[in-house]
Structure 1
Amino acid sequence: MTDLPKATFPQAVLFDMDGTLVDSERVWDTGIEELAERLGGALDPAVRARMVGTNEDASVVMLLESLGIPLTETPAHQAWLRRRMKELFAETVEWKPGAQELLLQCRAAGVPTALVTSTPRELADLIIGHIGPDNFDLTICGDEVDERKPAPEPYLKAAEKLGVDIEQCVVLEDSVSGVGSALASGAVTIAIPSEVELPADLEVMRLDTLDGTDLAYLRTLG
């Protein structure tokens, strides 16, 4: 791809949702813990850590495996979790520190923005409704791609639909799965670990928080 003038960087900023834009992983904790109790067990913290950055269907499979419950029962438990999460997300979600400010800065400057999440559209739209659908030029959900994170497809698809060069985009992520997807896509990737620490040997730029992070800083990364 042709190198673009630095002044155009970033061509777009692509945001993960759960744990990056909003503090929704804690809401997922509630739903999954409730499901574990319904199944007569308890959610192992190590198992929950592996779920972060995946999706609710995969999370249910991990939970059933950890509790020794036959996977033939998976669809019914997945349906229960989705119904419960719809109830929980219909209430409210909180922004992660600095996320709303950075998003609004990008919008004010005319930099295209996209939300790219592994959460299915049915649930994601509840959160997007809280944080403002007009804040994004594009939203891509987990059930709208053939391969979810950590595959690069979600971010590559976002760049294609926005008509931008993925290598000239900044991706903000919090999980191993999401960071892996962003790096594999070729985007400039910033990790802001949230609920789960990232491996020390994972080579990616890191921030403790988005609080104080602005568009001027993102422009220095091009």
Structure 2
Amino acid sequence: MTDTADSALRADPALRLPAAVLWDMDGTLLDSEPIWEIAMTGLAARHGMAMTPQLRESTLGNSLPDALAKLHDAAGIPPEDRDPDADGRWTLDRVTELFDEGLPWRPGALEALDLVAGAGIPMALVTNTVREAAEVALETIGRHRFATTVCGDEVAVGKPAPDPYLRAAELLGFSTAQCLAVEDSPTGAAAATAAGCPTLVVPSAAAVPTGGLRTFRTSLVDLARDDLASAWAGLRGAVRMA
């Protein structure tokens, strides 16, 4: 079968497979949310406050500017006294330092990537992490796996806005309705479904609300081709296919 014919067949609703899979990174492919927690906890301490579980959960999957704004709000720092550039630089340096020490995979994630690649389905990485840190993480994940990558600092508005997913689908040449997103956080799931992507949700550090365009698994362990098919085809009828 030619590549063109295979691509057409994958996009055929009768075959019940997505044309592309769009992967979140932190908490979905990599168990990197604890690393972000270390950095954000350190930043909170620099501002004389403790990182509460509630504050940490509220920042999961956020873009760096959004996470910093929530921390500044919680610390009661007046807007005129905030320095998001300096705090962002400190946080990014700390995260990159920790990324360099090693990044663990989420259970089943590496095998899930291999499954999708083996099915000939193109993939994109869609993350709120800025490009500088994502490039370090891609050394672990393997940048060769992805047809394109979209980072949080490369779109006008990061997740939970739909912009990152809209951009990834555009770069791949598909409508979002033809793609399956894989997400772990409330913020990421909100972005994917707002973009019109059927979304496979595998929660990690926080519960994700149920909703339209979402199907759930407890883990990526033992993910099979039929699971991809049911996650995408079972939801695609809720959006208009391009």
TM-score, normalised relative to structure 1: 0.93
Q: Tell me what 2:35 maps to.
A: 27
- Distance in 1, matches of 2:16 and 2:177, equals 12
For 1:206-217, list aligned pairs within 5 A. Answer: 206-217=216-227
The secondary structure found in structure 2 opposite 1:43 is coil
Q: What amino acid is aligned across from residue 93 of structure 1 in structure 2?
A: L
- Distance in 2, matches of 1:202 and 1:175, equals 13
The secondary structure found in structure 2 opposite 1:210 is coil
Indicate whether 1:170 and 2:156 are aligned.
Answer: no
Aligned length: 219
Residue from 96, 104, 108 that aligns with 1:94: 104
1:53 Cα deviation from its structure 2 partner = 1.2
- Distance in 1, matches of 2:45 and 2:101, equals 22
Q: What amino acid is aligned across from residue 88 of structure 2 in structure 1?
A: Q
- Identity in percent: 40
Query: What is the Cα-based RMSD across aligned positions, in Å?
Result: 1.6
Asked whether the equivalents of residues 41 and 67 of structure 1 are also in contact (C-alpha less than 8 Å), the reply is: yes
Indicate whether 1:126 and 2:136 are aligned.
Answer: yes
- Distance in 1, matches of 2:158 and 2:45, equals 28
The secondary structure found in structure 2 opposite 1:115 is strand
Q: What amino acid is aligned across from residue 34 of structure 1 in structure 2?
A: G
Q: How has the CA–CA distance of structure 1 residues 165 and 73 changed in structure 2, closer, same or farther, with 3 Å as cutoff?
A: closer
- Distance in 1, matches of 2:85 and 2:163, equals 25
- Per-residue CA distance 1:55-98 (angstroms, 9 max, x = gap): 22221221121112233233222221111111111111111111
Q: What amino acid is aligned across from residue 112 of structure 2 in structure 1?
A: L
Q: Tell me what 2:55 maps to.
A: 47
Asked whether the equivalents of residues 131 and 152 of structure 2 are also in contact (C-alpha less than 8 Å), the reply is: yes
Q: Tell me what 2:151 maps to.
A: 141
Q: Tell me what 2:197 maps to.
A: 187
Asked whether the equivalents of residues 179 and 191 of structure 1 are also in contact (C-alpha less than 8 Å), the reply is: yes
Q: Tell me what 2:94 maps to.
A: 84
TM-score, normalised relative to structure 2: 0.85
For 1:108-119, list aligned pairs within 5 A. Answer: 108-119=118-129
1:8 Cα deviation from its structure 2 partner = 6.7
Q: Tell me what 2:12 maps to.
A: 4
Q: Tell me what 1:16 maps to.
A: 24
Asked whether the equivalents of residues 63 and 159 of structure 2 are also in contact (C-alpha less than 8 Å), the reply is: no
Could you tell me which runs of 5 or more consecutive residues in structure 2 were left unpaired when the two chains were aligned.
1-10, 234-242
1:34 Cα deviation from its structure 2 partner = 1.1
Q: Following TM superposition, where does structure 1 have runs of at least 4 consecutive aligned residues deviating by more than 3 angstroms?
A: none
- Distance in 1, matches of 2:163 and 2:66, equals 18
Asked whether the equivalents of residues 19 and 174 of structure 2 are also in contact (C-alpha less than 8 Å), the reply is: yes
Q: What amino acid is aligned across from residue 213 of structure 1 in structure 2?
A: L
